[in-house]
């Protein structure tokens, strides 16, 4: 390997060491100018819409000062004692409060989104019961020869009733129901099975609605329901002349609709046969035989088509006609969520924080692919954006990350990093509540939130995290995605095999993904270091080929991979063959699909499918591969690893380190890498990048430092960069196809031996927080401030400053300050100079202004709110004062912190000066 020399080093930034070259900092090391779109946003719940202009302006100013980029208005249930302040949703007064909010936000350089509705999901008083959710059930009755069916039916809810004998003869019995609901039919000399399909209105109501927002959720399978729902918003905005929110929002799918009155007609129109004709197969229990599975697949596809083509496009059109963008959470839906996400300007995913950990200890543990933090589900939103050319991918961030008031900025940072590598580039905290200044601490709260608000002690240092996110998102929103592979989603295999009626693609249970070959393949690709985006059948239809690359509206890919699909629509297979004919590489893991899905016109569709496959001539290729040349391209079938090597897909070997994850994007002069260590061990060593580069810069988004990296060359000529990342830490690489002018050079600083332990004495003074400021004290031993003997410290939430004086150790440095254990964030000053803010372990930073004889070190440490909340509950202070669900714990039980332990707080040390070793 050949080493490319770098410049000399003279300075030590937080993450690494960089030396300033002569003259001003060059452009290749610049960060993009930060905008409101780059900064994190936050859900902003309005309790009872009890807002007023004075408090709105105060809250918005605090959000901006804390580093937020915007808010998302969601009116919800009210607060006890504040009923007189409530404003009816969408009333003229409410619209005036929205106008004031948007106007003030724009003045403060903040953006505003709003939910199309109150609470969630779409619905309200304008939705009649018959346009709310419909629930469908099927029943099977055995009728003996000579017998009668004694069941009583409601003619209004009976959608179909069919009897079938052993010979397959069918009788439609629906018209034989008398006015009392009994069946006027006798079985005769044969035994019959009778199949009933029953459906009626009875779906859920809007959850957590605001005053004026209560009512049924819409039936998402009924186009008329969406039209009626939007009428109210048409009226509310008809005379509105003020500034508008940026986007309208739709929350995750929590409807419960399995039927609509128009569904039988839509089914017949789209599938080519009537559902009643296959009612026995439709009613068959799981596991289903082949024909029954095909009928259910057709039903599920019809539901998906209705939502994607007839229902939700109405909302998207309504928004765009009025100048709104759309933000949509498609997950939870029974539709093809790739296509549903693709309808939105800003697709949005979410990851919950629940995991295999103590909910009172929200500490990063490296378990990032399981439970409700499943990056492979989150990638459905980013894939839709990448494939369709959407600039931003949002994420509801921080929902139930840990128990209330136990969340740390460290854990939130690690969650955000996982979202980033999954393709998210627009963090929306979940979130903060509007709270008037006269509300007692802790203010107005939402029950499923990381309380990211100015009343929570963690807010004091949250701007450091928000600045980190803004820097990352300024990179991740720029350029274009650089994933090599399109991973086809064989959704028909899922629709044809899953039990039950509809298949809801939820974030809380990955069985719908992990139980299918595509889920297993996605995990393999991730582990191997291959970037990929999922692709739907509809999206495949939009693809073309240019220069051997598969081009979609938003991306360019080296190959399309079909992951062990059994069934594929003939039009999709034809499209894949056409892509190959135009010069693309299409990979089939193991083998080609063998059949078409669904039951409609089955034999004719099978003939078309067979004609397509019969025209392919596969020949042996490398290893176990078989290859068919088609036009200028090829179809390849065989094992995954061999197929990936055969097509030249780039593999980022840094993922060989457990927990090392990345996302790669193109920019005008090369590539950007965001790399995070989500494992539990140090990542340290030379890493080969899978993209050609003449030079590489290292950018630290936590501090804003940037410098050029010394690089080596691997045997194949690819660049190798030295990285050193502690667990939970991250870095950005910027590669260049042509080397820029020489600039600062980066080195990482490794902690060396302890040169001096600062044993104090330490003077501790409480700066801000409550319920009262404890008395200052002096200590030689660094332990939790809750154990100093003052009962006020055990219930205090806020900030204390630790100060001590010391002489510099012998030697020349460079020096690194190691704070040891900190609970939970620290601002550090040395000799009056601010060195920075530390949010996560290891709490280390460089120091460069030591005086040989006398140094003053000041460390402002902020703890969590947990101890103060514990005290409120032990004293039975009524602070949970909200209507509806009020405030529950992470297990959705009544919240009570009175039996919590006292949380460690403050500077626990040991505080050590270390010699820094430079790499």
Query: What pLDDT score does 461 carry?
Result: 98
Whether the per-residue pLDDT at 6 is higher than 80: the answer is no
Stretch 401-417: mean pLDDT, rounded? Answer: 96
Q: Please report which confidence band the pLDDT of residue 413 belongs to, taking 50, 70 and 90 as the band edges.
A: very high
Stretch 663-682: mean pLDDT, rounded? Answer: 97
Stretch 279-291: mean pLDDT, rounded? Answer: 96
Q: What is the pLDDT of residues 519-564, one digit of tens each?
A: 999 999 999 999 999 999 999 999 999 999 999 999 999 999 999 9
Percent of the chain scoring above 90 in pLDDT: 93
Taking the CA atoms of 282, 285, 291 and 295 in sequence, report the sign of the dihedral they define: positive
Percent of the chain scoring above 70 in pLDDT: 95
Query: What pLDDT score does 326 carry?
Result: 98
Whether the per-residue pLDDT at 21 is higher than 90: the answer is no
Whether the per-residue pLDDT at 318 is higher than 90: the answer is yes
Whether the per-residue pLDDT at 367 is higher than 50: the answer is no
Give the least confident one: 341-350, 371-380, 423-432: 371-380
Q: Please report which confidence band the pLDDT of residue 742 belongs to, taking 50, 70 and 90 as the band edges.
A: confident
Q: Could you tell me if 701 and 15 are in contact, meaning their C-beta atoms sit under 8 angstroms apart?
A: no
Q: Please report which confidence band the pLDDT of residue 691 belongs to, taking 50, 70 and 90 as the band edges.
A: very high
Higher-scoring residue by pLDDT: 687, 4 = 687
The angle subtended at Cα 436 by Cα 433 and Cα 442, nearest 5°, is 65
Whether the per-residue pLDDT at 89 is higher than 90: the answer is yes
Stretch 697-725: mean pLDDT, rounded? Answer: 97
Query: What pLDDT score does 853 carry?
Result: 94
- DSSP code string of 361-398: -----S--SSTT--HHHHHHHHHHHHHHT-S--EEEE-
Extract the tokens encoding 899.
């039996």
Stretch 579-608: mean pLDDT, rounded? Answer: 98
Whether the per-residue pLDDT at 579 is higher than 50: the answer is yes
Query: What pLDDT score does 9 carry?
Result: 27
Q: What is the pLDDT of residues 584-598, one digit of tens each?
A: 999 999 999 999 999
Q: Could you tell me if 657 and 455 are in contact, meaning their C-beta atoms sit under 8 angstroms apart?
A: no
Cβ atoms within 10 A of the Cβ of 603, count? Answer: 7
> Which residues on neighbouring strands pair with residue 754, listed in sequence order?
914
Q: What is the pLDDT of residues 386-396, one digit of tens each?
A: 999 999 999 99
Taking the C-alpha atoms of residue 53 and residue 793, their distance in angstroms, rounded to an integer, is: 37
Q: Please report which confidence band the pLDDT of residue 7 belongs to, taking 50, 70 and 90 as the band edges.
A: very low
Mean pLDDT of the chain: 94
Identify the three-state secondary structure at position 844. strand
Taking the C-alpha atoms of residue 836 and residue 460, their distance in angstroms, rounded to an integer, is: 13
Q: Please report which confidence band the pLDDT of residue 741 belongs to, taking 50, 70 and 90 as the band edges.
A: confident
Taking the CA atoms of 894, 897, 901 and 907 in sequence, report the sign of the dihedral they define: positive
Give the least confident one: 12-21, 136-145, 564-573, 598-607: 12-21
Taking the C-alpha atoms of residue 411 and residue 532, their distance in angstroms, rounded to an integer, is: 27
Query: What pLDDT score does 370 carry?
Result: 57
Instruction: Return the DSSP state at 324.
Output: -
Q: Could you tell me if 800 and 881 are in contact, meaning their C-beta atoms sit under 8 angstroms apart?
A: no
Whether the per-residue pLDDT at 485 is higher than 80: the answer is yes
């Amino acid at each position: 390997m050949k080493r490319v020399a770098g410049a000399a080093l003279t300075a030590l930034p937080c993450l690494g060491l960089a030396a300033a070259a002569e003259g001003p900092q060059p452009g290749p090391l610049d960060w993009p100018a930060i905008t409101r779109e780059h900064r994190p946003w936050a859900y902003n719940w309005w309790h009872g819409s009890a807002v007023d202009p004075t408090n709105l302006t105060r809250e918005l100013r605090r959000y901006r000062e804390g580093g937020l980029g915007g808010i998302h208005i969601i009116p919800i249930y009210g607060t006890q004692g504040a009923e007189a302040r409530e404003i009816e949703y969408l009333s003229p007064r409410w619209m005036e409060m929205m106008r004031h909010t948007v106007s003030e936000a724009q003045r403060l350089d903040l953006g505003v989104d709003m939910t199309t509705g109150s609470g969630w999901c779409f619905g309200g008083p304008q939705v009649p019961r018959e346009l709310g959710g419909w629930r469908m059930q099927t029943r099977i009755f055995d009728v003996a020869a000579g017998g009668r069916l004694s069941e009583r039916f409601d003619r209004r809810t009976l959608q179909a009733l069919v009897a079938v004998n052993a010979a397959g003869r069918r009788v439609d019995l629906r018209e034989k129901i008398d006015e009392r609901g009994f069946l006027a039919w006798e079985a005769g000399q044969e035994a019959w099975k009778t199949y009933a399909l029953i459906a009626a209105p009875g779906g859920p109501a809007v959850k957590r609605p605001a005053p004026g927002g209560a009512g049924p959720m819409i039936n998402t399978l009924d186009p008329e329901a969406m039209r009626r729902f939007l009428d109210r918003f048409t009226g509310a905005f008809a005379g509105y002349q003020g500034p508008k929110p940026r986007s309208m929002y739709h929350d995750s799918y929590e409807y419960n609709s399995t039927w609509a009155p128009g569904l039988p007609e839509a089914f017949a129109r789209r599938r080519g046969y009537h559902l009643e004709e296959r009612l026995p197969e439709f009613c068959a229990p799981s596991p289903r035989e082949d024909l029954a599975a095909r009928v259910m697949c057709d039903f599920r596809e019809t539901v998906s088509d209705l939502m994607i083509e007839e229902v939700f496009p109405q909302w998207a059109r309504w928004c765009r006609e009025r100048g709104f963008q759309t933000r949509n959470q498609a997950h939870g839906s029974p539709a093809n969520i790739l296509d549903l996400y693709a309808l939105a300007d800003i697709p949005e995913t979410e990851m919950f924080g629940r995991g295999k950990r103590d909910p009172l200890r929200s500490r990063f543990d490296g378990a990032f692919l399981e439970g409700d933090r499943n990056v492979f589900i989150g990638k459905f939103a980013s894939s839709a954006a990448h494939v369709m050319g959407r600039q931003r991918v949002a994420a509801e961030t921080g929902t139930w990350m840990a128990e209330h008031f136990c969340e740390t900025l460290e854990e939130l940072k690690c969650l955000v990093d996982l979202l980033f590598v999954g393709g998210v580039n627009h963090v929306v905290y979940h979130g903060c509540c509007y709270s008037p200044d006269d509300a007692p601490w802790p203010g107005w709260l939402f029950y499923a939130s990381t309380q990211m608000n100015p009343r929570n002690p963690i807010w004091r240092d949250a701007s450091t995290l928000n600045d980190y996110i803004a820097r990352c998102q300024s990179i991740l929103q720029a350029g274009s995605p650089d994933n090599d592979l399109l991973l086809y989603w064989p959704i028909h295999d899922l629709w044809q095999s899953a039990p039950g009626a509809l298949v809801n693609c939820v974030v809380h249970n990955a069985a719908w993904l992990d139980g299918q070959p595509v889920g297993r393949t996605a995990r393999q690709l991730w582990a191997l270091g291959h970037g990929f985006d999922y692709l739907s059948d509809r999206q495949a239809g939009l693809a073309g080929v240019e220069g051997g690359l598969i081009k979609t509206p938003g991306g360019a890919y080296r190959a399309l991979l079909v992951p062990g699909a059994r069934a594929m629509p003939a039009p999709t297979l034809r499209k894949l063959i056409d892509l190959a004919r135009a010069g693309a590489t299409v990979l089939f893991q193991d083998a080609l699909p063998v059949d078409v899905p669904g039951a409609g016109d089955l034999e004719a569709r099978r003939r078309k499918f067979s004609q397509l496959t019969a025209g392919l001539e596969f020949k042996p290729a490398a290893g176990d591969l078989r290859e068919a040349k088609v036009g200028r391209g090829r179809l390849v079938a065989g094992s995954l690893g061999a197929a990936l090597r055969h097509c030249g897909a780039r593999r980022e070997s840094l993922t060989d380190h457990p927990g090392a994850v990345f996302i790669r994007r193109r920019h005008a002069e090369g590539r950007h890498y965001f790399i995070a260590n989500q494992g539990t061990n140090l990542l340290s060593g030379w890493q080969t990048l899978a993209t050609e580069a003449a030079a590489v810069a290292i950018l630290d988004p936590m501090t804003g430092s940037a410098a050029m990296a010394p690089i080596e060359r691997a045997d194949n000529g690819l660049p190798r960069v030295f990285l050193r990342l502690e667990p939970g830490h991250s870095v950005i690489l910027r590669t260049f196809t042509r080397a820029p002018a020489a600039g600062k050079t980066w080195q990482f600083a490794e902690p060396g031996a302890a040169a001096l332990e600062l044993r104090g004495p330490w003077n501790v003074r409480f700066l801000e927080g409550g319920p009262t400021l404890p008395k200052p004290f002096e200590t030689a031993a660094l332990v939790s401030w809750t154990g100093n003997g003052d009962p006020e410290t055990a219930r205090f939430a806020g900030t204390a400053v630790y100060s001590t004086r010391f002489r510099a150790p012998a030697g020349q440095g460079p020096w690194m300050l190691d704070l040891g254990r900190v609970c939970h964030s620290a601002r550090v000053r040395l000799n009056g100079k601010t060195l920075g803010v530390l949010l996560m372990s290891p709490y280390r930073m460089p120091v460069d202004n030591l005086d040989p004889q006398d140094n003053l070190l000041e460390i402002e440490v902020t703890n969590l709110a947990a101890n103060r909340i514990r005290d409120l509950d032990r004293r039975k202070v009524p602070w949970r004062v909200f209507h509806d669900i009020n405030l529950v714990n992470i297990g959705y039980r009544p919240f009570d912190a009175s039996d919590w332990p006292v949380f460690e707080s403050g500077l626990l040390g040991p505080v050590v000066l270390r010699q820094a070793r430079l790499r």
